[in-house]
Each structure stands twice: as structure tokens, then as C-alpha cells.
Amino acid sequence: MPKESKEGITYKKEENFSEWYSEVVQKAELIDYSQVSGCYVIRPRAYQIWEKIQNYVDKKIKSKGVENCYFPLLIPEKLLKKESAHVKGFSPEVAWVTEAGSSKLSERLAIRPTSETIMYDSYSKWIRSYKDLPLKLNQWCSVIRWEFKHPMPFLRSREFLWQEGHTAFENKEEADKEVLEMLNVYAEVYEKILAVPVFKGKKSEEEKFAGAEYTTSIETFLPTGKAIQAATSHHLGQNFSKVFEIKFLDKEGKSEFVYQNSWGITTRTIGIMAMMHSDNKGLVIPPNAAYNKVVIIPILFEKDKEKVIKKTKEIKEELSSFNAILDDRDDVSVGRKFNEWELKGIPIRVEMGPKDLEKKQAVLVRRDTNEKISVKYQQIKKEIKLLLDKIQENLFNKAKSNIEKNTIGVKSLEDLKRSTNKLAKLSWCNTKECENHIKSEIEGIKSINLSLKEKPKEKCIICNKKATSVAYFAKSY
């Protein structure tokens, strides 16, 4: 467990990314470490970002007819084992409850790694007719996946928060349509709220969700030289409905199995945002993700102290729609206040001292560029709104430029070997044999996803046979 320092960020992003990131998320008060390895305390500053994401997704899915619900945390072993590919994919990560008090349980209970099995047991009882379809349910909850890899706050933890949507349809066409609709919602979350560019695609057979017919994902490429999965939307086909006997009578009275989807986004969003935008001063929060968009810092001298504080209180009231913070502590120096709020990532700092009071102005400082702008009192609110939009756009464009700069086309395995810290784009036959060959030749690299739009113009770079996909390969978290 890292030791907390009262000073600022001591590691450089470009020199020791892992230690830098650990410092940023802890010192910016996003997380704290708990007594259980891989389980973290999500502090209010991080949970506020999660609430922004929750509110956006919740509104979107409800507009599509999805209803929220809640299913138990504990799943009987017999249910979890019903779908063989599913349980095989999750078995190494499942945590089990085997005792209650001093008594052994008659059956092991899995602590929810995902809820397909327990939800679909109920679906089999609720769905009888085509009139019961589509069934669209979602739950906001936490899950436990007992990762044995090196844990990393938000990115890879044993417990995390997410939403999981589970839907059932009469036919495959309806289900296929929803898969992409949800993928688009998740892309909007990243691009509109978190200012993180993403690329959409379909997972390879090796990388798809256990038990799915196919998996779609949004991914991004971080300044570390690694890709990361940002969210997923799965088409389960009839794999689960046949196992759980989720059948309905169609309009002709014929018994059919439903087609199903599942989709989810997690608190990994917060880690991706922090990694993408933050710098050596600390956290950078895009304005659309920030709860407190402005911090006001009075520059105090004994002579004019009361006048300056009075005016900054008025400004705070005027900027209430931005949840402005007024830092009028008199036992902390102005310089330390600047450093503290830069570390915590507040998008705009408002400075006001005696000279500003005389000029009836304030100084606005952008967190993303450190640019300073002097603004008259009557223009402050209007200028801040414009500035927040500019910061949001700048962060997105900067991240997009970095991803484009690090995305390269490769035409051979040798090209790929020379591109291990890049996002490699290539023509591929999408077979397990060729994917495993790449993995065996280049340590740590794998397929990220397959483009949904682009068609290959060349042969597979491994087997030289006809390519079926334009694929992205990279090292990843």
C-alpha cells in the first residue's frame, strides 16, 4: 500500500506511469486503500463522477423502455454452472460463500461476478408469451471478480460498481439492433462526458464474453502505450435461453426460445478518464464530468481582507450553478491552495485580490492549459460557461490527436513486432490460430477489437489467406 504524502505529485507521468497514476487517484481524493487487497474505497470526488455517468446512462436506457431492478448478490452454484462456457470463463474469478456462522452451507453460493444466471432463472418464469416481450431490465450494483493479477484502482479491482442490462427479444434482428444502440450510448458517455475518444468494434472469438454469440466493445488507447476496454455490449443469442428454458409462444402459438443481450459499463470509466487527461500537477477532470466546476480563491491581505471575501462570496452565489467552491481558509497559503485544487482537477480557478477588486474584475485560470484571463464582474458567469466548453473540447481533441498519432497500419508480423507500444491496425482472417500465433510471437499483445465499418483490402498478415476483418492489436490493461 503506497504511503500518502502531503505534498503534490512526486512521480512524472512520462517516467513512471504506474506510480504517477497511484499518486494521482489517491492524492486527488478519488480512492483510498482498504484492508482487502484489490478492494478500494470510492471517495465522494470519484463517486460524483460516477453519478454523472449513472444519470446519463439511466436517462438513455429508460428512454428505450429499460426498467431498473435488483437481483440477489448470492447465486447458487447450480445456477452458475448451468451454462458451461459461461462458468468456464468466470470460474477462476468467482468468490464463494461456504459457511454461515459456524454452519457449513449445503450448497456453495457465488458472490455475484455477473448476473446472467440468477436473472435468467427468473426470466424463465416470467416469460410465457410474445406479449411478455421484449423484457428489458437493468440493475446498478457491485460485482466481485477475484482477480489474481496486479490490482490497479478503478482499472482492475476485485470489487467494482457497474450497471448490467439484460434484455430478451422475440427475434435476432431486434436483439442485434439493441447491441449497437447500447454501444453507442457508452461511446457517448466517454466522448461527451469524459472527453475520451473511443473506437467501436467486435471482439474476436478468443476475446468475446463467455457464453456470448458475439461481443461488441468500445476501446481507447492510453498515453501508456496500452489499449483498454471501455465498455461492452453482448449478443447472447439463444445460448442462455436454451439452458434456462426461456421460451415463449409466438403469434402462431409455436414455442420459441428468446434471443438475449447483456451490456454494461463500470467505474473503470473514472480510471480511464484520469489516465487520459491528468498531468504532473495531478488530476484533470473534464468539465462535463466535474461536479465542482469552479474554485474561487481570494488573495488576502489584512487591509482589504473583508472586502475581498465579501465579493468572492457574492461571486460564489452567482456561480452556484457550477457548484463553485470558495476556499477562504486563512491558515493555508495562496500557493498551496493553487496546488491543491490543481491536484484535485477543478476545471477553472477564479482568483481575486485587492487589485482585482479595484478593477472590478477576476482572473480565470484554466486547469488544462494554465492560461489566465482577466474578466469583468458582469462577464464572469458567461465567460466561465464559454471556457468550460473550450476546456471540454480541448481535452477531447488532445486525446484524439494522441490516439491518431499512435495508431499505425502494419502489413507484416515484423511490422507488428516493431509496434508493440502502438495501436496496430491490420488485415486479419479472424481465426484463433492466427491470433494465438501473434500472442506466442509477441508477449503481451492481443486483438483489441475488429472494426465494424472498415473492410480489409489486403490478405491476413499472418497466414496470407483472405482477410475478413480490419483488426486492432495492442498491449492492453
pLDDT in tens, 279-302: 999 999 999 999 999 999 999 888
How would you classify the pairing of strands 135-144 and 67-68?
Answer: parallel
**What are the CB-based long-range contacts (under 8 Å, 24+) for 169-172?**
169/133, 169/134, 169/258, 169/259, 169/260, 169/261, 170/130, 170/133, 170/134, 170/248, 170/250, 170/256, 170/258, 170/259, 171/259, 172/235, 172/237, 172/259
For the cut 80, the answer to whether the pLDDT of residue 80 exceeds it is yes
**Calpha distance 266→116 (Å, rounded):** 16
**DSSP 8-class letter at 278:** -
For the cut 90, the answer to whether the pLDDT of residue 51 exceeds it is yes
Helix, strand, or coil (residue 43): coil
Model confidence band, residue 42 (pLDDT cutoffs 50, 70, 90):
very high
**Calpha distance 111→101 (Å, rounded):** 17
Helix, strand, or coil (residue 284): coil
Mean pLDDT of the region 265-275 = 98
Strand stretches in 58-169, DSSP E: 67-68, 74-76, 95-100, 103-111, 135-144, 159-169
> Cβ contacts of residue 277 below 8 Å, gap of 6+?
195, 284, 285, 286, 368, 395, 399
Task: Report the C-alpha dihedral over residues 206, 208, 214, 219, rounded to 10 degrees.
Answer: -120
Mean pLDDT of the region 109-121 = 95
List the domains of the chain with CATH numbers.
17-277 (3.30.930.10), 288-403 (3.40.50.800), 407-475 (3.30.110.30)
> pLDDT tens-digit profile of 438-454?
999 999 999 999 999 99
> Cβ contacts of residue 238 below 8 Å, gap of 6+?
257, 258, 259, 260
> pLDDT tens-digit profile of 196-233?
999 999 999 999 998 899 999 999 999 999 999 999 99
pLDDT at 89: 67
For the full predicted model, state whether its pTM sits above 0.85: yes
For the cut 70, the answer to whether the pLDDT of residue 140 exceeds it is yes
Q: Report the share of the chain in percent with pLDDT over 90.
A: 90
> pLDDT tens-digit profile of 85-104?
766 766 788 999 999 999 99
**Calpha distance 121→141 (Å, rounded):** 19
**What are the CB-based long-range contacts (under 8 Å, 24+) for 356-362?**
356/299, 357/304, 357/307, 357/308, 357/311, 362/315
For residue 10, count other CB atoms closer than 10 A to its CB: 12
Burial of 157 (0-12, 13-18, 19+ CB in 10 A): buried
Cα–Cα distances (Å) from 301 to 304, 316, 321, in that order, read 6, 20, 29
Q: Report the share of the chain in percent with pLDDT over 70.
A: 97
**Calpha distance 212→224 (Å, rounded):** 30
Please report how many Cα atoms fall inside a 13 Å half-sphere around the Cα of residue 152, on the Cβ side: 18
Model confidence band, residue 4 (pLDDT cutoffs 50, 70, 90):
very low
User: What cell numbers appear for 364 in the block?
Assistant: 480565470
> pLDDT tens-digit profile of 347-385?
999 999 999 999 999 999 999 999 999 999 999 999 999
**Calpha distance 125→445 (Å, rounded):** 44
According to DSSP, the residues that pair with 96 across neighbouring strands are 110
Burial of 437 (0-12, 13-18, 19+ CB in 10 A): middle
pLDDT at 110: 94
> pLDDT tens-digit profile of 148-203?
678 899 999 999 999 999 999 999 999 999 999 999 999 999 999 999 999 999 99
Phi-psi region of 101 (alpha: psi -120 to 50; beta: other; left: phi over 0): left
**Calpha distance 330→310 (Å, rounded):** 14
For the cut 50, the answer to whether the pLDDT of residue 1 exceeds it is no
**Calpha distance 423→427 (Å, rounded):** 14
> Cβ contacts of residue 208 below 8 Å, gap of 6+?
214, 215, 234
Find how far residue 196's CA is from the centre of its chain: 10
pLDDT at 6: 57
Q: What is the mean pLDDT of the chain?
A: 95
